[in-house]
Chain A
């Protein structure tokens, strides 16, 4: 089956006063229709920027990719107007904080009907009916009444439901959820994740779930991509990556997750901090924090991961090569 989304060699560089800042370096990934891909990494690892570049929401000229094929169409070649037709209609996005991501002076209904008017040319009445239907799809109680409320009148969880309603209003083929539960109470988080999973099944969407929280993605993702310092350092089926991480950074991430269900050791943190993107170390960017680092790691960065074709579980690490030589 061909991929719904396929990104090849994405580079994002921001012009800053201190010089060009490489936020994303050579990212390639695929998302199959109906699949959930999780992208995890620390803040600043480039996971959100990757997705914003996909939608063309970054400053002009910041993003460059050899190829971004979405639903059979190379969207790097699209002009702004065509790209706008894609945004919201074919690709929906849910942002982290529904309080600031919803317009405070417009009703929930207006922010939702706008989608149908823009992308499907519906009349006001028809858009309203569609909006009420979408609100009930996302489990908003008494959706008709909720149409007239403003974001500040809703609870955090209800706000995120409204945000999701906007994102899936036009039945997109791909939903990007950028830390959809980070701003929410723990008790609400599971509800929102369940909701996204349910809608995904109902609409058959591909989902990209961005998170810094491995616990969040563990239950929902089919595959996981780990990003560090602007690169994907490990990618593979979620069980494979969780059971046998191949890159020391991934192992470190997994070891730092508190496990209350196991009688395991205390969570261990990874020593050090991610490198300053303006002064990344030579070779592998994780080298200074890596317990397994050796001289060869400083020479050149591991080759960027190519998601196409086997093996499905790959890591950008010198250890992987050594392991292969041994077997």
Chain B
């Protein structure tokens, strides 16, 4: 198990290098002079050649590209992601300031989607063709087709303005996490429910489940001990990808609910063409995503001994 985890961690290194290259490339592939764009975006078009040249020098844009990348990479590794053009603050501080809130939201979304999706899919599979099954299918289509912001607005309308149960925007503490968490969770729960359903259906038809019945294992125990773990294997694989969905979803969710997270910061940074800030935020989201997938791989190995023992 230890060797397996170590291997997975080593595999993260090339992935993260590639991510850094792409993030670095963001500024280089944009048409026009990033320094000019930035000045125009940040200060409403007041640009003088001197200021432009000063910014270019400060951003290192006069160096060869390879040197620029090296500077960026070593900077990123030592925690120096540059300074936000607009806020004149170190990017790292701004990102770290908002990271907690975003992770909190994505985790809440993930937990809710699993808590809703897994049991729903399981019951749908066991009561195949029943009303819970029909509900699950409809629910998953709705989840897949409904935009995050729309569900967010509906929840705000009903639970914040209508019933006044939870705050509609900002705030701290768990109450402010409920609506955005449920929004993200429900949107993704549909897919998980569907996956769990088909995976469970497959497991129910497996020979070892028949063996379990032939051994005299009662149905509930058969499902808990022999069924769920097997059925979860494909679902867990998808959870890592889902977590990426969650992070993308936080961009919209944080905007709808005015939460001070990385997602909303990226939106603001894009509007302001604040490239160092965008770079830093995207880099961090990528790291979170890669780490989440590492955790998924570990969970996968825990569930499936065939992976654990490299077979």
> Footprint of B on A, CB under 8 Å?
55, 57, 81, 84-89, 93, 95, 97, 100-107, 114-115, 118-119, 150, 152-153, 163, 166
Contact = CB atoms under 8 A, between A and B. Distances in A.
Contact of B216 (A89, A95, A105, A150): A89
Contacts of B215: 87-88, 114-115, 118, 166
Given A97-B207, A119-B216, A166-B215, A103 B306 contact: no
A152 B304 CA distance: 11
A270 B226 CA distance: 43
Given A87-B215, A114-B217, A152-B305, 6 more contacts: A84-B218, A88-B217, A101-B207, A103-B211, A107-B305, A150-B309
Contacts of A55: 213-214
Contacts of A152: 305-306, 309, 311
Contacts of B226: 103, 106
Contacts of B214: 55, 57, 87-88, 93, 95
Interface in B219-264: 225-226, 229-230, 233
Nearest to A57: B213
16 contacts: A57-B210, A85-B216, A87-B214, A87-B215, A100-B207, A102-B211, A103-B211, A103-B226, A105-B303, A106-B225, A106-B229, A114-B225, A119-B216, A152-B305, A152-B309, A163-B211
A88 B309 CA distance: 30
B213 A100 contact: no
B311 to A, nearest CB: 6
Contact of A104 (B210, B212, B225, B306): B306
Nearest to A86: B216
Given A95-B211, A100-B206, A152-B311, A105 B305 contact: yes
A70 to B, nearest CB: 14
Interface string B269-311: 0000000000000000000000000000000000111100101
B174 interface: no
A97 B304 CA distance: 20
Contacts of B157: none
B305 A104 contact: yes
A269 B240 CA distance: 55
Contacts of A150: 305-306, 309
Contacts of A88: 214-217
Contacts of B305: 104-105, 107, 150, 152
Contacts of B4: none
A100 B206 CA distance: 7
A118 B217 contact: yes
Contacts of B213: 55, 57, 87
B59 to A, nearest CB: 53
A101 B311 contact: no
Nearest to B227: A103
B254 to A, nearest CB: 38
A140 to B, nearest CB: 18
Interface in B168-213: 206-208, 210-213
Interface of B: 206-208, 210-218, 225-226, 229-230, 233, 303-306, 309, 311
A106 B229 CA distance: 9
B309 to A, nearest CB: 7
Given A88-B214, A114-B215, A118-B217, A103 B309 contact: no
A290 B46 CA distance: 101
Contacts of B309: 150, 152-153
B1 to A, nearest CB: 13
B13 to A, nearest CB: 30
Contact of A101 (B208, B230, B233, B303): B208
A104 B210 CA distance: 14
Nearest to A83: B216
A104 B226 CA distance: 9
Nearest to B213: A57
A104 B230 contact: yes
Contacts of A100: 206-208
A114 B305 CA distance: 19
A119 to B, nearest CB: 6
A104 B208 contact: yes
Most central of B211, B216, B218, B304 by chain A CB within 10 Å: B216
Q: Which 8 A-B pairs have the closest CB atoms?
A: A88-B216, A87-B216, A100-B207, A88-B215, A150-B305, A103-B208, A101-B207, A84-B216
Contacts of B225: 106, 114
A115 B225 CA distance: 13
B218 to A, nearest CB: 6
A298 B57 CA distance: 101
A163 B207 CA distance: 12
Contacts of B229: 105-106
A186 to B, nearest CB: 22
Given A84-B218, A88-B216, A101 B211 contact: yes
A115 B211 CA distance: 12
Nearest to B212: A103
Contacts of A85: 216
A182 to B, nearest CB: 13
A163 B210 CA distance: 13
Contacts of A86: 216
Nearest to B215: A88
A106 to B, nearest CB: 7
A105 B230 contact: yes
Contacts of B217: 84, 88, 114, 118
